Structure 1
């Protein structure tokens, strides 16, 4: 989970939020479901990392 947060933080420095969501959500949703992570609570955490702007 920490690697995902670091990736989103770094991607947030280069891409806009919508692009990051469109790139990362299709592969991450099955991973979150497989590990039993709550998708509702990971949304705000992902959004905070994805919205970092330069």
Structure 2
């Protein structure tokens, strides 16, 4: 089984931090799946954009 890293706003790659902050502002917390997607900044940003519509 593969273990994925769940990032916090503080530990996420720099390019993902603003997106995780926006998710926290929108939802009140950073969901685990978004914390995992933060490994790839484009993916987590795309997901946040998708759910915003």
> Do Structure 1 and Structure 2 share a fold, with TM-score over 0.5?
no
TM-score (norm 2): 0.34
Structure showing the higher helix proportion among its residues:
1
Q: Report the TM-score, using the length of structure 1 for normalisation.
A: 0.34
